[in-house]
Amino acid sequence: DGGITQSPKYLFRKEGQNVTLSCEQNLNHDAMYWYRQDPGQGLRLIYYSQIVNDFQKGDIAEGYSVSREKKESFPLTVTSAQKNPTAFYLCASSIAGWGNHYEQYFGPGTRLTVT
Amino acid sequence: GQQVMQIPQYQHVQEGEDFTTYCNSSTTLSNIQWYKQRPGGHPVFLIQLVKSGEVKKQKRLTFQFGEAKKNSSLHITATQTTDVGTYFCAGQAAGGTSYGKLTFGQGTILTVHP
């Protein structure tokens, strides 16, 4: 089955620790995205990558980092510099990047709780 | 930057009633997409509108794109309990520095009472 996988589904961390969220896709999509979802705020873009070995900051990139070394993988690291890291994190992919009118396919999400 | 506003934030209906959510962009859009997120799930693509004034239907769902390509609506006729979830619009900027960027609205949470 083709799709996007995110692991783990639930993640708990202590404040001050960095944590990396996994996102893998086998759809052969060029573009991948990370969103953060908080109640009442919709989806906010953290980082995006339109092609392997390239990525750009989204609207709320502070305290986060990413890499795109392989086409199918786009891990997100939530660093200790992120002031409010507790949220639901969604990874998505599309056939190609912006300007091409392609829909985005979302993974099941990772719910991160930092205490 | 581009903003996409969606109203209402919440909507409670009795099963069988109609439901509408509205989406307004601060800038002209090249296209608009609609997604549905079931409780506890992830957003799933429903449809994309590209042309000015476009209307598309999916069974009981009707999607409209405004003439100025700055607003859109989703109307559900005779809601069912399976319609429960959050409906998001997402607009792609038509130009400027945000060209092609997909910006999501805040979503409308629909509750259907049987």
Whether pLDDT at A101 is above 80: no
User: Which site among B21, B31, B104 would you substitute to test the A interface, given the most A Cβ atoms closer than 10 Å to its Cβ?
Assistant: B104
Dihedrals phi, psi of B105, to nearest 5 degrees: -75, 175
H-helix or E-strand spanning residue A46: strand A43-51
What average pLDDT does chain B have? 94
Q: What is the mean pLDDT of residues B49-63?
A: 97
What average pLDDT does chain A have? 93
Dihedrals phi, psi of B96, to nearest 5 degrees: 75, -165
Between the alpha carbon of residue A25 and those of residues A74, B20, B62, B83, the distances in Å are 9, 34, 31, 28
CB atoms within 10 A of CB B68: 11
Residue A112 token pair = 């991160």
| Secondary structure string (H, E, C) spanning chain B | CCCEEEECCEEEEECCCCEEEEEEECCCEEEEEEEEECCCCCEEEEEEECCCCCEEEECCEEEEECCCCCEEEEEECCCCHHHCEEEEEEEEECCHHHCCCEEECCCEEEEEEC
CB atoms within 10 A of CB B81: 10
Whether B102 and A104 lie within 8 Å, measured CB to CB: yes
Task: Assess whether the previous peptide bond of A8 is cis (omega < 30° from 0).
Answer: yes
pLDDT in tens, A3-49: 999 999 999 999 999 999 999 999 999 999 999 999 877 899 999 99
The pLDDT score that the predictor gives to residue B96 is: 63
Q: With contact defined as beta carbons under 8 Å apart, do A41 and B9 qualify?
A: no
Residue A99 pLDDT level (bands cut at 50, 70, 90)? low
Closest CA–CA distance from residue B114 to any residue of chain A (Å):
25
Residue percentage of chain A with pLDDT more than 70: 96
Burial pattern A57-73, b for ≥16 Cβ within 10 A else e, equals: ebeebeebbbebeebbe
Q: Would you call B108 an interface residue with chain A, using a CB distance cutoff of 8 Å?
A: no
B44 contact residues in A (CB cutoff 8 A): 106
CATH number of B4-113: 2.60.40.10
* Lowest-confidence region among A18-32, A88-102, B6-20, B63-77: A88-102
Q: Which 36-75 residues of chain B touch chain A by CB within 8 A?
A: 41-45, 48, 50
B85 contact residues in A (CB cutoff 8 A): none
The pLDDT score that the predictor gives to residue B97 is: 61
